[in-house]
Amino acid sequence: MDEIKGILFSIMEGTGTRSEGPTYFIKPLDNYKKRWSKILVRKKTNLWEEDPGLHKFLDKKVSIIGEIIETKSTITVDYSKLRILEENI
In this structure, are residues 46 and 21 in contact, taking their beta carbons and an 8 Å threshold? yes
Could you tell me the pTM of the whole model? 0.90
pLDDT at 89: 44
Averaged pLDDT score across all residues of the chain: 93
Q: Which fold has domain 2-86?
A: OB fold (Dihydrolipoamide Acetyltransferase, E2P) (2.40.50)
pLDDT at position 21: 95
pLDDT at 86: 72
- pLDDT for 50-65, tens place per residue? 999 999 999 999 999 9
Choice between 76 and 87, residue whose per-residue pLDDT is larger: 76
DSSP β-bridge partners for residue 40: 25, 76
Beta-sheet pairing, 75-86 with 39-42:
parallel
